[in-house]
Structure 1
Amino acid sequence: MVLALFLAACGSDSDSATPAAVNPSPASDASLAAAKANLAKYLTPPTSIVQSTPLKSAPPKKKVAFVQCADPNCAILAGFVKDATSALGWSLTTLSATATDPGSAIQQAIDAGVDYIATTGFPVNLFKQQMNQAKSKGIPLFMCYTTDVPAGPGNNLFSDCNDATAASAFGGAMADFMAVDSNGKADILQVTIPSYPVLTAQADGVSAELGKNCPSCKIHNLETTVNDLAGGAVPQSVSSYLQANPSVNYVFFTYNGLEKGVPVVLKTAGLLGKVKLVGTQGAQPQFNEVINGTSTAWSALPQELAMWTMVDQMARVAVDQWSLPDERKAAISPFYLVSTPDQAKAIVDEKNGWPGPAGFKDTFKKLWGL
């Protein structure tokens, strides 16, 4: 779901494949031990949120505008923002934005005199003029799912949850999973869309973690495009690469949409049982695959919690209790890897994926003094 925001807003490059990066050094016991230690943090559902500092007082009422992207999935995120702002007793206006011109909707929010503006996925460079105007009028901006770096009063951006640092962490966890699962013998085909910075950050996280904890592992990059994704060309590209490179034993997808149709094509080609499919941001289709054995592991990323985390940063600004270290710490949502049928069965009925640790909404309300 999250990548839809980027697909709507950005262009794409031509697809290509790069050869495997090979380090001849074998995976040592020490490096695999480090991989196991990091992986252990992500094998069970988190039980708490990152934020733990209560507000010094309940926040005063605020008017918030949420700029929603054109993809229907963004309406789900808007609903989560509505729930969180309603819990605070705040009013929310949702404004629709086109893929290439979020600035017009942000301008509407500015003209309406809202206190805060929130959005997801749109990079600041698409609305620089409105960003400057919002700053001059003292209207802070809050975001998730981009690679823009908050600086608070310095750049008027007060949150970017699940940003590039989070993407790197998501990739690193899956890299350690493949290293441990293969006992240091993973030969990985990484399928991604390189024109999106957040996916590049994730891919870089995979490479960096393998470099530390599995130097004997190999990684290939299959670089696809938005047109490939929309046209259904990715499954055949994956199949063709695997046929030409039979040593590959894992296929890692940086986004769940890239995996759509792949199992069917691989089964037809007689390749499905020869590789393990893993990826980021599993949803119902992927968790069903873990249950039936088609996929091996997918990360569970809490979109609902991410929106409440963004609203939490608004609440902290409202009572003059916002800090950059606090925001940076909370930018990486708690997540875990779903790698067993029982784990997948526990959340496969969640329509919008794993929402977050049990009771997280009540935890936020308590922190907000409600």
Structure 2
Amino acid sequence: MTLKKVSTIGAFALLATAGAVHADQAGIDRAQERLAVYSNEPVFTSPGEPFDIKACVADKKMLSIPNSSANPFLKGIIDRMRAVGEDIGLEVTEWENQGQPSQWVQGFDFAVRDGYDVINLISGISPDTVLPQVQAATDAGVKVTTSHFYDPSFEPNELLSSTLPVGFNEIGKILANWTTVNTDGKAKIALIVSREVPPTIPLVDGFMSELAENCPDCEVVQEINVGVAEWGTKIQSSVQSVLQANPDVDVVIPIYDSMSQFVVPALRLTGKLGKVKVATFNGTPFVLDYITDGSVSMNIGESLDWIAYSTVDATARDLCDLPIPEKLNVPFFIFDKDNVALAGSPAQFDTGYGDSYVSGFRTLWGLE
């Protein structure tokens, strides 16, 4: 775990007082305008041409390896991929692990040995960390894919059969614009990251660049970098230390929302719960319930079921050597105190996003 002091975003520009006020309000207005699109119910758009999905996946098996099975967001996606697979004839299995690279290696060995057709690395495992296994699987005729991992700006590993990027840089910008609007452009921020996870980098880049443009008086007071395997042991104590050392911090941003389960106790113990705003990303139900009880302020959600449909769609296209979508076909949706009831009580993974994607994909696949 590392703590990194970050200088004030706006220090690069010296403005006259009147000009600064004008620029700050323009930035707030711009941020508000950019947020608006994420407050509307998501709409399905087709990721490609119609095709016979059952023919593409007949007698095929996919092994999905998350970066850690302890992450409820990833486990939820795989559970839904399994359900979609049952509907179309694709066998989907999770390789359960505790986030250890040696366990990922074992998953590759199992897939090759057990005759799987495709291995899906979902959200967090860089192919570069298991490159010999990717090569061995490819040589054995097993396709290796990634989903919900690369940002569109990344150059995917050339050994991959296909990849489904997600807009992590875009997510960072949403978090920055929400922070700008909800602090009147004066935020003092504690930013919690896991820099070992490659998508973190474009997410943070998007966050910082958007603050620089729209919130010159915002400041990232402290960056807290915690490895995924240490979230349970390092995040709470680190956040407590930062809040005690920097009582002016008024926004905490755990960039992945499963971090929030360790942030909320830190806020409670420091007397900051409900006083410090918390904004995050993923839409995990227990974190949406934190919005209901006032512990968390905002969560950028994605429908896990929608992600599952999109991932299965791309996998089937890959198995049939059809063109692959350029990115994961799943829109983002902002939940806050004004609309979190849409997610259910208690919140559900796939509630609040509408269901246009279900009929959309089923029609695309020739099932309706």
Pairwise TM-score range, normalised by the shorter structure: 0.7 to 0.9
Give the count of matched residue pairs: 347
Assess if the C-alpha contact under 8 Å between 1:150 and 1:160 holds in 2.
no
Counterparts of 1:22-171 in structure 2, within 5 Å, are: 22-24=9-11, 25=13, 26=20, 27-48=23-44, 50-58=45-53, 59-60=55-56, 61-69=58-66, 71-72=69-70, 73=72, 75-96=75-96, 99-101=100-102, 102-120=104-122, 121-147=124-150, 149=154, 154-162=158-166, 166-171=167-172
More displaced stretch, 354-363 vs 32-41: 354-363
Task: Please tell me the root mean square deviation across aligned C-alpha atoms, in Å.
Answer: 2.9
Structure 2 CA distance for aligned equivalents of residues 238 and 307 of structure 1: 33
Residues 168-212 of structure 1: CA deviation (Å, up to 9, x unaligned): 211211111111122222222212233322223322221111112
Q: 2:10 aligns to what SS in structure 1?
A: coil
Q: 1:17 aligns to what SS in structure 2?
A: strand
Structure 1 CA distance for aligned equivalents of residues 27 and 133 of structure 2: 48
Structure 2 CA distance for aligned equivalents of residues 193 and 95 of structure 1: 22
Assess if the C-alpha contact under 8 Å between 1:288 and 1:344 holds in 2.
no
Q: Report percent identity of matched pairs.
A: 20
Q: 1:179 aligns to what SS in structure 2?
A: helix
Counterparts of 1:259-298 in structure 2, within 5 Å, are: 259-298=260-299
Q: 1:307 aligns to what SS in structure 2?
A: helix
- Alignment match, 2:334: 337
Per-residue deviation, 1:349? 2.9
Q: What is the TM-score normalised by the length of structure 1?
A: 0.81
Structure 2 CA distance for aligned equivalents of residues 264 and 130 of structure 1: 40
Q: 1:23 aligns to what SS in structure 2?
A: helix
Per-residue deviation, 1:63? 0.7
- Alignment match, 2:188: 187
Structure 2 CA distance for aligned equivalents of residues 56 and 237 of structure 1: 50
Q: 1:334 aligns to what SS in structure 2?
A: coil
- Alignment match, 1:8: none
CA, structure 1 residues 35+361, in 2 after alignment: closer, same or farther (shift >3 Å)?
same
- Alignment match, 2:16: none
Q: Which amino acid aligns with 1:54?
A: E
Assess if the C-alpha contact under 8 Å between 2:303 and 2:353 holds in 1.
yes
Structure 2 CA distance for aligned equivalents of residues 193 and 127 of structure 1: 19
Structure 1 CA distance for aligned equivalents of residues 69 and 286 of structure 2: 19
Residues 320-358 of structure 1: CA deviation (Å, up to 9, x unaligned): 4314xxx32x33631111112442453443444658541
CA, structure 1 residues 369+355, in 2 after alignment: closer, same or farther (shift >3 Å)?
farther
Assess if the C-alpha contact under 8 Å between 2:299 and 2:336 holds in 1.
yes
- Alignment match, 1:10: none
- Alignment match, 2:343: 346
- Alignment match, 1:311: 312
Assess if the C-alpha contact under 8 Å between 2:150 and 2:156 holds in 1.
no
Assess if the C-alpha contact under 8 Å between 2:274 and 2:294 holds in 1.
no
Q: What is the TM-score normalised by the length of structure 2?
A: 0.82
Structure 2 CA distance for aligned equivalents of residues 289 and 333 of structure 1: 24
Structure 2 CA distance for aligned equivalents of residues 95 and 279 of structure 1: 27
Please, which runs of 5 or more residues in structure 1 have no aligned partner?
A: 1-13
Assess if the C-alpha contact under 8 Å between 2:10 and 2:217 holds in 1.
yes
- Alignment match, 1:3: none
Structure 1 CA distance for aligned equivalents of residues 140 and 302 of structure 2: 35
Assess if the C-alpha contact under 8 Å between 1:161 and 1:309 holds in 2.
no
Structure 2 CA distance for aligned equivalents of residues 212 and 272 of structure 1: 29
- Alignment match, 1:361: 358
Structure 2 CA distance for aligned equivalents of residues 23 and 35 of structure 1: 16
Q: 1:119 aligns to what SS in structure 2?
A: strand
Structure 1 CA distance for aligned equivalents of residues 182 and 52 of structure 2: 48
CA, structure 1 residues 38+193, in 2 after alignment: closer, same or farther (shift >3 Å)?
same
Please, which runs of 5 or more residues in structure 2 have no aligned partner?
A: 14-19
Assess if the C-alpha contact under 8 Å between 1:141 and 1:157 holds in 2.
yes
